[in-house]
Amino acid sequence: MAELAPWPATSLLREASAGDEAVALIWDDGERAGFPLIWLRDHCPCLECRHPQTRERLTVPLEEATLRPEASLEAGHLRLAWADGHVSQFAAGWLYQRRPEAPAQSPLPARRVWRDAFTPVRVRHADFFTPAGESAWLEALLRDGLVLLEGGPLVDEEVSRIAECIGPQRPTNFGARFDVRSKPNPNNAAYTAIGLALHTDLPNWRQPPDIQLLYCLENAAEGGESLFADGFQVAEALREQAPEDFRLLSEIAIDFRFQDETQDIATRAPVIECDANGRVVEIRFNNWIRDALRLPAEQMAPWYRAYRHFWTLLHSPRYQLDFALAPGEMVAFDNRRVLHGRRAFDPSTGARHLQGTYLDRDMLESRLRVLARQA
């Protein structure tokens, strides 16, 4: 069927009848569905209609009239003989999964906003390299927007090795893999020892990195604890407490910009982005790289009020997760949803070294679908 995901091999057809518009099917369990003729012809899995190696569709559903085929059952599966001589054979279970009224099936978890006392899922480093452990890690990350890995080795580039089990590392102007420690001539607040207020990385990019991995190699300095908040949870709290402030942050686009000797990367977008149904889908929040505020003068004061309100809520202890990463631990989070930060540290008291990289969400979803089809 040109399909790698499994379908229920046991559900067979009891009846098939072709009309001028559709084929009506009844399965063994009594379930019924009607498939339009154009749909069936478009989904023909034969070697002329689907490339045998790539599994990609080779035909275009251009034919206006797909004339009524002869429908018959072969060992419980559907056979259609079309008027032009073409024959299509469909596995009954494959059609069963695709009944127009069937509930959508997906191995991907729904997003779940943090509630008070959110405790992140922890996965052992060794378990990550098993299908069950990797699935648990992926599910928690896609659902909660944050997951921890623990008990990993203290070796350079372990973060890249983990990332590449999932997909290619997403490069940015800071490289595909970056070191977080205090450096001479820093081009980024993270490369100093100062505290970092909650932020999302790279909101100055049209498409900020989806997922961030931070792997702790050393954390012996005083301070340097990690801070997180679920931007979706706090945005909902803002919507409830101050709908006008929420409206300003979600409707007014502002400029974000990073500049150094060789780069000037800028985009204009709202702090809170909603989809067409008003659901929050992205947070862009990074006070260092907010560019000059370019708005009609009368919008400026209300926008600052809304921004301060959101800032205050985000940093209130009620919404914050606060813990020190131990060497060998890695935090992974949804950079377009969960904000991160850290307390200041004192580099004279010991070393602090994290290695980080980014991944595309598509690669996480892909891994979870592949693992689900192997399960």
Q: Rule CB under 6 A: which residues touch ligand OGA?
A: 180, 190, 196, 201, 226, 340, 342, 354, 356
Enter the DSSP assignment of 81: E
Instruction: Look at residue 203 and give its three-state secondary structure.
Output: coil
Among the residue ranges 44-52, 71-79, 127-135, 296-304, the one whose residues contact Zn ion (CB under 5 A): 44-52
Enter the DSSP assignment of 326: P
For the bound state, the minimum distance from the C-beta of residue 311 to ligand OGA, rounded and expressed in Å, comes to 16
Q: What is the CA radius of gyration of the chain?
A: 26
For the bound state, the minimum distance from the C-beta of residue 335 to ligand OGA, rounded and expressed in Å, comes to 9
For the bound state, the minimum distance from the C-beta of residue 314 to ligand OGA, rounded and expressed in Å, comes to 14
For the bound state, the minimum distance from the C-beta of residue 222 to Zn ion, rounded and expressed in Å, comes to 21
User: In this chain, which of 2, 22, 26, 46 binds Zn ion, going by CB under 5 A?
Assistant: 46
Beta sheet of 70-74, edge-to-edge order = 70-74, 77-81, 87-90
For the bound state, the minimum distance from the C-beta of residue 12 to ligand OGA, rounded and expressed in Å, comes to 55
Indicate the residue among 179 and 291 with the shorter CB distance to ligand OGA.
Answer: 179
Q: Is 214 left (phi over 0), alpha (psi -120 to 50) or beta?
A: beta
Which among Zn ion, ligand OGA, none contacts residue 250 (Cβ within 5 to 8 A by kind)?
none
Instruction: Look at residue 74 and give its three-state secondary structure.
Output: strand
CA distance linking residue 275 with residue 280, whole number of Å: 7
For the bound state, the minimum distance from the C-beta of residue 365 to ligand OGA, rounded and expressed in Å, comes to 24
Beta sheet of 330-334, edge-to-edge order = 122-124, 146-150, 330-334, 211-219, 352-359, 177-180
Which among Zn ion, ligand OGA, none contacts residue 44 (Cβ within 5 to 8 A by kind)?
Zn ion
CA distance linking residue 197 with residue 341, whole number of Å: 5
Enter the DSSP assignment of 190: G
Reference 67, options 23, 21, 17, 25; nearest CA is: 21
For the bound state, the minimum distance from the C-beta of residue 340 to Zn ion, rounded and expressed in Å, comes to 6
Q: Which two tokens stand for residue 174?
A: 């800071």
Residues 240-269 that bind Zn ion (CB under 5 A): none
CA distance linking residue 272 with residue 248, whole number of Å: 9
For the bound state, the minimum distance from the C-beta of residue 49 to ligand OGA, rounded and expressed in Å, comes to 48
Q: Which two tokens stand for residue 193?
A: 């020892």
Pair 2, 55: CB distance under 8 Å: yes
Which among ligand OGA, Zn ion, none contacts residue 367 (Cβ within 5 to 8 A by kind)?
none
Which among ligand OGA, Zn ion, none contacts residue 354 (Cβ within 5 to 8 A by kind)?
ligand OGA
For the bound state, the minimum distance from the C-beta of residue 246 to ligand OGA, rounded and expressed in Å, comes to 25
Q: Where are the alpha helices (DSSP H) in the chain?
A: 37-42, 92-97, 125-128, 131-144, 158-166, 231-241, 243-251, 297-314, 361-374
Which among ligand OGA, Zn ion, none contacts residue 356 (Cβ within 5 to 8 A by kind)?
ligand OGA
Indicate the residue among 319 and 333 with the shorter CB distance to ligand OGA.
Answer: 333
Indicate the residue among 152 and 356 with the shorter CB distance to ligand OGA.
Answer: 356
Which among ligand OGA, Zn ion, none contacts residue 41 (Cβ within 5 to 8 A by kind)?
none
Q: Which two tokens stand for residue 43?
A: 């989904």
Cα 367 → chain centroid: 12
Q: What is the largest CA-CA distance in the chain?
A: 82
Instruction: Look at residue 349 and give its three-state secondary structure.
Output: helix
Which among ligand OGA, Zn ion, none contacts residue 355 (Cβ within 5 to 8 A by kind)?
none
Is position 334 an interface residue for Zn ion (rule: CB under 5 A)? no
Is position 71 an interface residue for Zn ion (rule: CB under 5 A)? no
Indicate the residue among 79 and 343 with the shorter CB distance to ligand OGA.
Answer: 343
Which among Zn ion, ligand OGA, none contacts residue 46 (Cβ within 5 to 8 A by kind)?
Zn ion
Indicate the residue among 209 and 252 with the shorter CB distance to Zn ion.
Answer: 209
Count of residues in the chain: 375
Is position 44 an interface residue for Zn ion (rule: CB under 5 A)? yes
Indicate the residue among 230 and 245 with the shorter CB distance to ligand OGA.
Answer: 230
Q: Which residues bind Zn ion (CB under 5 A)?
A: 44, 46, 48-49, 201
